[in-house]
Structure 1
Amino acid sequence: MKTSINRDILKLAIPNILTNLTIPLLGIVDLALMGHLGHEAYIGALALGATVFSLLYSGLIFLRMGTTGFTAQSYGAKHFREAINWLGRGIVLALFLGLVLISFQKPIKYLVFMLIDGSEQVMSLTAEYFNYRIWAAPASLGVFVFTGWFLGMQNAKIPLTIALIINVVNIIFSVYFVRFANMGIQGVALGTVLAQYSGFVASAVFLLIYYKRMVLMLSAKLVFHIKSIKRYLKTNVDILIRSLLITGTFFYFNVLSAEVNDLVLSVNSVLLQFLWIFAYFIDGFAFAAESLTGKYVGAKNKADLKSLIRLLLIWGVGLSISFSLLNLALGKQFIALLTDNILVIDNAQTWFFWVIIIPIIGFLAFMMDGVYIGATATKPMRNVMLVSVLLVFLPAQYFLLPLWGNNGLWLALILFLLSRGVLLWAFHKPAIYKTEFD
């Protein structure tokens, strides 16, 4: 049985990891296109514009997560009519929120730009990027829902294919618009818009090809069932709060770094890349945890759920130790690839210890998030995040930063990740086993 569960973990985790690894590809291509336009303002504007949408969409990632959990539980319970109607609810909400973003794009842009400090040229180019890319919002959010639904149906290959389609279309159109149509940063944004709608259409096509019988079970009456909508929204609000707290914590980490000095901000930005790369891999297993936990909760299979969590723990330990050793062996070379600034390289060595231990300390938080999301135990997950931010990270940085400088700031971040993982693990039995099985 454990062999079968292990096989299912890898069947989902490997495509998820590959999907995650496509994320930086677009950024690299867009950066290369802007980097050859003859002025550094294009690079700065692209970085700011991409950051704006990254922050905007990170708060709406609940559309994927919530859909995965509910769909996986319906799949495990063999309630396929309910599974397809979770997709319907998600798509309706995604399109509604996408249209809201488009309708309120001017006040959103105004509020966001109040927080950004850049030159007049950079801000003008960033505004051009925003004005085009915001029109992709309904498709981007719709792809979130489709991805979550396919993962809930235990299918990670279709989301990988969709991600590849989006990447290929984006690259083709961005290169054409920038290099041949001379559209500058508008071309990159328009390429992204067309790619997102291509991904949305491709998702719908895959749905009709592989889940045609289930599509026929879609019912407006069930999609708009008030009790189900309330449950969906309540869960998604919990995930939204959790996501905003994570985003806010790392944003504040960068703010605190900048308050020390520009060098510390630059060094910490480089060192955080090690965490993001690790996250691409560990999230592959966390997404698998969402899918499989939901399936076993829906099937009321407590024994397999316990085995799943034990196996996920083993995979997490192995992966985190491997990354720590990899960072130790190749960290200096990777830093040299990211920057040729001698001051940044030298100071990165001073604080490199934190990069070595952060995978081992942080993996449990990533993995257990997946378990809680799959079980739709979002209220305790949200509460753990509140405790970790308000009672651990904020007090820790307040006392440790003045005492130990940047080492104190990194220790505060480590304690934040550690507290999340430990608390999620400590409370997973009452939060999931007793709630879902007793």
Structure 2
Amino acid sequence: MAHIVVIGAGLAGLPTAYELRYLLPSQHQITLISNTSKFTFIPSLPWVALGLIPLAKIQLELEELVIQQGIRWLPEAVVHLNPRTQTVYTDSQSLAYDYVVIATGAELALDTVSGLGPEQGFTQSICNPHHALMANSAWQNFLQNPGPLVVGAVPGASCFGPAYEFALLADYTLRQQGLRDQVSLTFVTPEPYAGHLGIGGMANSSQLVTELMAARDVAVLENTAIDSVTSQEIILANGDAVPFQYAMLLPQFRGPGFVRETAGLGDTKGFLPILPTYQHPVFPSVFSAGVVTQLAPPEVTPIAIGVPKTGQMVEAMGMAVAHNIALALGAISDQPVTPTLEAICFADFGDTGLLFLADPVLPDPVTGRRRRAITLGGRWVGWLKTAFERYFLAKMRWGAAVPWFERLGLRAAGFSLLEAAPSTEPDSVREDVLIH
């Protein structure tokens, strides 16, 4: 009997645990560890922050769902991991494992910019449920006393879609309430240009985003680094100051503390290096899925930014990990796989929206091209996002990571979550990614 531990019960961890349970015979034990008792559909947090939906609508209680799938549930925080002895340590106990999947999501590096909030600073965040509720409370106060509004991201940030979504949804909400003429709206981004998205842009994304911002009277400061934040101003690296009454800035991400503190496990920011199978190049019992996974940016930008890991990407990572563990345990007979990293992303802006389709997300390093890249706009995008949110929550209730009809639908549309993994030897991974 093998014991597989999955750390994290979010968009990557919960589907991975479900897929492992589906693929592995019952004699293999699966333990899901999470420091939160609820699953949250993170892509909908901009709506929560602006008071458009309640948080409870996009959350599920995990314990009963997990246990009824035959998965052991452990609601604790992981404080240490020893990949050499293959042991996970939580607040109260230690667990030996045969394989561990690290799918914690990101830790928010709020200390990289002085004054970045919300807890110890002056800005809001929409990166986790607690912050979204704090952002909503501050937003309700802002509506009573409107003024300059600043939205954007700091250097090193990697997921820019929610910032664009928040800015344009805020514009829409203010117009609905007759307050837009009292608010100046500024978007500050380290991207080399608006619509770059951390992936080198795609199709006509830059043109559409730029046109939308101009049409909504949003001032855009692109290729701009934020140096610090005071109680009333965003201080830029060039010394300029942007005043604000309300600011929502996306922070830089990093891996969890237990990864950063374990020599040789992650890079300097705590992201996990991987082989094409999403197995660690040095510790074969360790796999990675989701935001904590190390992905190289497609290009060097004037201001450092990261690579986004969207919902479909992290789900595909989890499917690949589950497949490859099941293969290693002899539960299936196939070949190793890798995620295709194709992505369909919905950004709702109230009375319109944008759908981004990237196949794959990162362009070919040689040609700079993708197989497909499409950006479409329309009010229907918001409806599709709502439908997808409800579907995803439903399948998490069912205990199904990717049901057969979803796989069939993706295949009919020309998509595939997985493909055969190329052979890569561990020593091909750069040494610098393993040194703190």
State TM-score, norm by structure 1. 0.29
Higher strand share: 2
* Bigger RCO of structures 1 and 2 (CA < 8 A, at least 6 apart): 1
State TM-score, norm by structure 2. 0.29
